[in-house]
Structure 1
Amino acid sequence: MTAITQNLPWFIKDLGVSIVGQKCYTSIVENLDFSDVECLKYSISKGLGLGIVVGGSIMKVPQLLLIISARSARGLSLTAYVLETLAYAITLAYAYRNNFPFSTYGENLFLTIQNVIITALIVHYNPPNILASRSPRQRVILAAQATIATAIPLAIFPTSTIALFQLATLPLSLFSKLPQIRQNYRAQSTGQLSAFAVISQIGGCLARLFTTAQEVGDPIVAAGFALALALNIVLGVQLWLYWGKDEKEEIEIGHVGISEKARTHWTPPQKVEVVIPPASPGGRASPRPSNRRWSRKVD
């Protein structure tokens, strides 16, 4: 078997060396020495990291398609997506500034971009009350301006300040999921929430805990992934509990609540015909007889 692995095409060898390094490539690939635990863990970490980056590039695509096809962002929390996007962007800036391997944070780039688009769609289809009076174009422009205003500080602030921001991603991760969890609980439905996205995030957080321990060793980053894992598991449980259930929407008329189901089966009252008697043949209505009597005057 080693006769094959030691004579692989040059482009495969160069790719392998660029990913795991010459030492681990020789040990794991060419010599098939799986007893080299250090290189084995490192190679697995690199493979998982690249897989997460590739998966992250399409993780939120099903969510995007759900919103666009339904032309609605029902069940999605705007607050949750804003905070989650901010957490992704901070983690991306922190990892880039500290020269971490791209395989340990690359998915944050794609997730940030996808989340920005989803947030804009939420603002477009289900705007908050403060933006409801504005036109769709104005709402999208405001969302774009907010995105740029957030990106500029992350690009120009010093690394020490970005490190403080990274500490803030822990509460951000917590508060980014709580609005969505609360909204799901209140509605007893997950609305347009994508099961693929939630399950992918659970798997990604598990893998990231391993890759962070192997390649980065940053406790702040690891704590963020651990917290995100716990909250994503809660969302996964909600998806399982509320699967196939419609959102309970109620409209209050006075003190009477009419549920969505009742409105669906409500039937309008029967048509009532009003018959108006025809006018007199002369075209003028006959004068009503008066109780007053008239008499002719005799000279």
Structure 2
Amino acid sequence: MSSFLDMEISTSSKLMSPCFSEFNDIIKRKEITYGPCMLSVFSKTLGYVLIGTMTVSLIPQIVKILRKRSASGVSFFSILLTLEASSATVAYAIQKKFPVSAWGENLVLMHMNVVLICLLLRYNDKLKTSITFLTIYILFMLLLLWPTVPSQLVWCLYLLSMPAIAASRVIQMYKNHKTKDPGQLSATTAFLCIFQGFGRLTTSIVTTGDDVMIYTFAVVTLLNILLFLQVIYFRRKLKKNS
């Protein structure tokens, strides 16, 4: 964790001198001007907010599965694709020494998705498979984070993470449509995913300007909205029929 903090401090120190002049100018003029430093502060603040919301976003989903002792309606392959995306993003960001505020929510998402997959396997009477998966995943991540791992491998996995996120939402929506029942899917989690999608879309536009990343987050945000509406629709329909 200290290495993550070092990245953030290093990045912040590079901006400190020019930012001091910009903020000093704002105080003297008594009006806000949106220069590079203001955008940097906005992006970092939003990044930490996203990390905070991600910390709580999947808790309702996990609690619901534990309370019902069932993982019905939750797509295993959807969670697996999301895990691939978050794991690859963490490995890529650490390798590139990006500031934590730019990717930290993926670290939370990675751990949460591991818990979700283990629960999905556990409540489908596959306890041994759950333990095997956890062991293999830990070894895989240790290998991926190893300093000598080829950067091309990490880049390829990161490149695959973008379509993987979109595919995970499509798979989950297809399963909901097929069963006409959202099962143990949490509407709260689905709603918070919309906020996170909008947040990352904003930070991508402000800080990276990368067209691929911007389009990807735009598509994912749209899919998150559709998934949330689908969960609400089927839940209300089931209540009416009951």
TM-score range for the pair, normalised by the shorter chain length: 0.7 to 0.9
**How do 1:3-18 and structure 2 match up within 5 A?**
none
Unmatched segments (≥5 aa) in structure 1: 1-13, 248-260, 262-299
- For residue 194 of structure 1, the aligned residue among 186, 202, 212 is 186
Partner of 2:153: 161
User: 1:64-213 maps to which residues of 2 (within 5 A)?
Assistant: 64-127=62-125, 131=126, 136=127, 138-156=128-146, 157-213=149-205
Moved more, 69-78 or 232-241: 232-241
Name the SS for the 1:57 alignment partner.
helix
Cα distance in structure 2, aligned partners of 1:116 and 1:139: 13
CA contact (8 A) 1:56 1:111 kept: yes
Alpha-carbon offset, residue 224 of structure 1? 3.4
CA contact (8 A) 2:187 2:232 kept: no
Give me the identity figure in percent: 28
Aligned pairs for 1:25-36 (under 5 A) are: 27-28=22-23, 31=27, 33-36=31-34
SS at match of 1:242: helix
- Size of the aligned set, in residue pairs, is 225
For residues 252-263 of structure 1, what are the structure 2 equivalents within 5 Å? none
**Whole-angstrom CA distance in 2 between matches of 1:25 and 1:188:** 56
The superposition leaves residues 205-234 of structure 1 with CA deviations (integer Å, 9 ceiling, x where unpaired) of 111122123223444443432332122122
Q: CA deviation at 1:26?
A: 5.8
User: Does the CA-based 8 Å contact 1:91-1:166 persist in structure 2?
Assistant: yes
Shift in Å, 1:180: 0.9
CA distance in 2, matches of 1:235, 1:176: 11
Partner residue, 2:43:
45
Indicate the structure (1 or 2) with the bigger Cα radius of gyration: 1
Q: Deviation of residue 184 (structure 1)?
A: 0.6
Q: CA RMSD in A?
A: 2.6
For residues 84 and 245 of structure 1, what CA distance do their matches in structure 2 show? 28
Q: Report the Cα distance in structure 2 between the residues aligned to 1:92 and 1:221, rounded to whole angstroms.
A: 15
More deviation, 55-64/24-33: 24-33
**Is the alpha carbon distance of 1:125 and 1:26 closer, same or farther for their aligned partners in structure 2, counting shifts above 3 Å?**
farther
- Identify if the C-alpha distance between structure 1 residues 19 and 56 changes in structure 2 by more than 3 Å, giving closer, same or farther: farther
Alpha-carbon distance between aligned partners in 1 of 2:56 and 2:17, rounded to the nearest angstrom: 31
Cα distance, 1:100 vs. partner? 1.5
Deviation, 1:55, is: 1.5
Larger relative contact order (Cα-Cα within 8 Å, sequence gap ≥ 6): 2
Corresponding residue of 2:219 = 227
2:19 to 24, 29, 33: 24
TM-score by length of 1: 0.67
In 2, the alpha carbon distance for the partners of 1:25 and 1:203 equals 31
Change (3 A) 1:139 1:244: farther
How far did residue 87 of structure 1 move?
Answer: 0.8
Q: Can you give the 5+ residue segments of structure 2 that lack an aligned partner in the other structure?
A: 1-8
Deviation at 1:238, TM superposition (A): 0.3
In 2, Cα distance between equivalents of 1:45 and 1:19: 16
